[in-house]
Amino acid sequence: MAGSEAIGQVAPQGANHGRNFIVAWLALSVIATLLAAFLVGPAIPPGNGSVQATGQVFDNEVLVAVAAPICVFVVLFLIYALTVFRSDGTGTNGAALRGDARIQILWIVVTSVTVIALAGFGSYELVKDGSGGGQGPSAAFLPSGHAKALNVQVIGQQWEFTYRYPSYGGLETPHLMLPANTLIELHVTSLDVVHDFWAYQLGVKADANPGIDNVVYVKTKGPRSFQIRCAELCGLWHGYMFDTGQVVTSAQLTAWINKEKAYYAPVSKYLPPYSHSYLPDPQLRAG
């Protein structure tokens, strides 16, 4: 009789635990999701220096918002189990635990829907405005207006990036200046070893491989500066391979181009014709 009474008391307690946990999880998840989406998410790099960078920030906001309830569930379950189901000190075993098919099916459905939804969301975002990464010589995701994009070539070499402007007579300079509110088609390549062009605030990151034309699109916003780094270990002075690029107005870009043309006129005749990749004599390169 006593045994039957004890058994009869287990179910209500289990139901209460489940209800208490779900209520606490839902309440904390709402708070955590709002904080993640509106406080943490917008502060995640790279910022809003370009359309692609803004897209990356939005993607991060969605990811942290989706991850927040999952993290709350795991942490809350751990805390709840450690506090509510801790040993009473008598050394007796608790009630036997058995699986619940309903919970298992719910877990499979929720996780499957979440993963598929995120995969669809990520694919849409990639097609919509590009991820800011190199797409090889034949870009798979072409943004609207790509036929009128300004071409700029990024050339990695030990140990600096130089930039050629085919629309301005093939001018090559050691500094990158881009017009504001303009779609740019970057052609990233290398003269020697593998480098990686990383324009941080623009949300652009593309490998610079010798003999390869790696295309990446980026649409600039208003005037600003942005940091450029090499993100691939490329030799002894890799750490010194950085610069500060500028997004400027069209008038400022034209004035700068004319100034650079005049400054580099004595050596411009020695430059090879503009090409998507170059094959210099390796003996002339540093090791």
Three-state SS letters, 93-160: CCCCCCCCHHHHHHHHHHHHHHHHHHHHHHHHHHHHHCCCECCCCCCCCCCCCHHHCEEEEEEEECCE
Counting runs of H as helices and runs of E as strands, what totals does the chain give?
A: 4, 10
Instruction: Determine the Cα angle at 226 with ends 248 and 222, to 5°.
Output: 40
The H or E element containing residue 206 is: strand 204-208
| Burial of 171: CB neighbours in 10 Å, binned 0-12, 13-18, 19+ | buried
Q: Which of the 8 DSSP states describes residue 37?
A: I
pLDDT of the residue at 94: 63
pLDDT of the residue at 56: 86
pTM over 0.75: yes
Whether residue 221 contacts residue 48, with contact meaning beta carbons closer than 8 Å, is answered with yes
C-alpha dihedral (273, 271, 187, 275), degrees to nearest 10 = 20
Low-confidence ranges of the chain (pLDDT < 50): 1-12, 287
Rounded to whole angstroms, the Cα distance separating 135 from 82 reads 49
| Burial of 283: CB neighbours in 10 Å, binned 0-12, 13-18, 19+ | exposed
The residues, ordered by sequence, that sit 6+ positions from 277 with a Cβ below 8 Å of its Cβ are 189, 210, 211, 212, 213
Residue with tokens 């593309």: 206
Tokens (6 digits) for 117: 């939804």
Domain with CATH 2.60.40.420 in the chain: 146-284
pLDDT of the residue at 131: 65
pLDDT of the residue at 125: 81
pLDDT of the residue at 281: 61
User: Which CATH number describes the domain made up of 146-284?
Assistant: 2.60.40.420
Rounded to whole angstroms, the Cα distance separating 127 from 140 reads 9
Residue among 283, 115, 113, 111 nearest 192 (CA)? 283
pLDDT of the residue at 8: 39
pLDDT of the residue at 2: 44
